[in-house]
Structure 1
């Protein structure tokens, strides 16, 4: 049987890091998106994709 993820089972210091990450990821993703529009490199596009995936995962509590 699959265990359900619950952020309340994490240690307090890890919950704090996750809370800060949730607040920082959206502005960082927007900045990277603007940077990718002006200076598109392969690394920027890959980084933007990773940041978007991370933002969605944090938003929907997948991680």
Structure 2
């Protein structure tokens, strides 16, 4: 049986990093979205997709 993941069992330094990432991921997504609209490159589109997936993962607490 797999152990359920609990974010409160993480070390304090890792919880701090996770909290900072949760605060900054949405502004980074907005900035990258504007950049993709103005100067679309393959790297920028892939980077925006990764940022959106990270934002969704943080929102649903997948990690």
For these two proteins, the number of residue pairs brought into alignment is 63
In structure 2, what is the equivalent of residue 15 of structure 1? 15
Structure 1 unmatched runs, 5+: none
TM norm structure 1: 0.96
Structure 2 unmatched runs, 5+: none
> What CA distance in whole angstroms lies between the structure 1 residues aligned with 2:44 and 2:12?
33
In structure 2, what is the equivalent of residue 2 of structure 1? 2
CA displacement, residues 5-54 of structure 1 (integer Å, 9 cap, x when unaligned): 11111000000000000000000001000100110000000000000000
Moved over 4 A (4+): none
TM norm structure 2: 0.96
In structure 2, what is the equivalent of residue 33 of structure 1? 33
